[in-house]
Structure 1
Amino acid sequence: MSLYAPGVAPQQWVFASNAWGKPAIVAPGAPMAFNLSHTEGLVTLALTLENSVGIDVESRQRTTDTDLAERFFSASEVRYLSSLPTAERASAFISLWTLKEAYIKACGQGLSIPLDSFSFDLTTPGRIGFPCQALEPFEARYWRF
């Protein structure tokens, strides 16, 4: 982080967690946000200047219980997963799960945000749709996934 804040030595950084446990920079007053995630053999860090950020990584070899989607995902996401051939569901589930985790981490409120209160649309190959009714359209257009 010190690379982005000239004159701030690594030992000068002070961190604290918000009410939901998301760590943030307290001092110095640098306009930065970060998020960290890890999985088997991989650690990733996202750092932004002046914007919220959330990141999640999962192993593609992770065993999944796609039935969790029915309990926690939005109705449109459950329909999407059900429409896929069985062999493709686990991968699609992991894609949706990582997107959802990254979003709630960026919001800084973790699982206090119900996972079925927002959706991602993966029906168009190469495109991630975010038809989120919980956000004003003006705000939603600035999110990048």
Structure 2
Amino acid sequence: MTRWDRGDEMGSVRWAFRCGSWTPNRTEWLFASRCVQKEEKNRIGEFEFAKDAKSAMAGRLLLRRFVCERMGIPWSEVRLERTPRGKPYLASPPKASSDRAWSFNISHQGDYAVLAAEQGMQVGVDIMKNTMPGSKSVPDFFRIMTRQFTAYEWSVIQSAGSEHQQLAVFYRHWALKESFIKAIGTGLGFNLQRVEFHLSTEPLMQGQVLRQTKMHLDEEEEDWLFEESLLDADHHVAVALGPADTPGSSPPSSSRPPPSFTLLSFDDLITAASPLTEEDPAYWENFKSKAEAPQRRRERHAPT
């Protein structure tokens, strides 16, 4: 376990796992597949590419470790479900007052899977890798995405400097919007131009967490907190924290220092794991036959 900062005291958890450098052997992959619910195992097995299967598996293991370790539910009794819009939730959560109830969310993109959890608040997390947009030029890519941002946000993105810097600010805005959408569980039907972000004037740097960014919803500033950090030079993470979805809930407080992400190893992910199903040797053969990623997925780093 690499400790950028544990960040899991006072009802906060921030964990990351580097899927991009994970090359599971037969024993690891089969054990991991036995430690997730059967329907999730089957869903993961249907991915065409190993990169996506590894990210999805890591996400499920992060969730199960969190519920087991922080909510005190034995691994074998953890039952995770999805809302109609795909947000994971615990089917039978332990009883807790609204200010102590946990909310959690995961994201995986690029080389990482991440989990954020908080007591007494709504939480959403999104990670984005700063890459060139495949076969399209940056201006063409921006034109396709025009309707996802407000005029003010586009002015900030396109005044950032070089194409590399513009992409970094673009992905920063995108992660912020996605973290909010995931926190409220709205999904794809939400008009992203309803939310407008006003970024902190302080530069985002590795090893620190920014909390100064403000969000306007329908042109009104909202009492939400947004934590922004860099896992490395190419991966930006945004965590959205809002009042619990219960009457009388207080807005999130910025009085305590923001937690940083802790980088977990595979051994960390399975430290409390126990198998739920029998070993399935064909599952390894299925995984081994997958290409790592599609040929057309040109995840080129943006030139500096």
TM bin, normalised by shorter chain, reads 0.7 to 0.9
Partners of 1:113 and 1:25 lie apart in 2 by 24
Bigger mean CA deviation after superposition, 38-47 or 119-128: 119-128
| Pairs within 5 Å for 1:50-65 | 50-63=120-133, 65=141
TM-score by length of 2: 0.42
- 2:71 is aligned to 5
Match of 2:176 in 1: 99
Structure 1 residue 136: Cα displacement = 6.6
Q: CA RMSD in A?
A: 2.3
Where do 1:1-145 residues align within 5 Å?
1-6=67-72, 8-29=73-94, 31-63=101-133, 65-87=141-163, 88-122=165-199, 124-126=201-203, 128-134=212-218, 140-145=222-227
Residues 4-27 of structure 1 deviation map (CA, whole Å, 9 limit, x = unaligned)? 123x20121222222322111121
Name the SS of the counterpart of 1:94 in structure 2.
helix
Letter in 1 for 2:82: S
* 1:78-115 Cα shifts (integer Å, max 9, x gaps): 12123232332111101111111111001111222211
Structure number, greater radius of gyration: 2
Matched residue pairs, number?
Answer: 142
Q: 1:133 to 1:67 in 2, by over 3 A?
A: same
Q: Which has the higher contact order (CA 8 A, sep 6+)?
A: 2
Give the CA deviation at 1:67. Answer: 2.5
User: Any runs of at least 4 consecutive aligned residues in structure 1 with deviations exceeding 4 A, and if so which?
Assistant: none
Q: What is the CA distance between 1:135 and its match in structure 2?
A: 8.4
Letter in 1 for 2:84: A
Q: C-alpha displacement at 1:35, in angstroms?
A: 1.0
Instruction: State how far apart, in whole Å, the 2-side matches of 1:45 and 1:4 are.
Output: 13
Contact 1:37 1:56 in 2 (8 A): yes
Deviation, 1:69, is: 4.1
Distance of 2:75 and 2:219 partners within structure 1? 37
Report % sequence identity: 24
Gapped regions of structure 2 (runs ≥ 5): 1-66, 96-100, 204-209, 228-304
State whether residues 12 and 28 of structure 1, in contact with CA within 8 Å, keep that contact through their aligned partners in structure 2.
no
Partner Cα distance (1:136, 1:32) in 2 = 27
* Partner amino acid, structure 1, of 2:218: A
Native 8 Å contact 2:176 2:226 kept in 1 = no
Structure 1 residue 118 displacement after superposition: 0.5
1:125 Cα offset (Å): 2.6
What is the distance in 2 between the residues matched to 1:20 and 1:135?
26
Which structure: greater strand fraction?
2
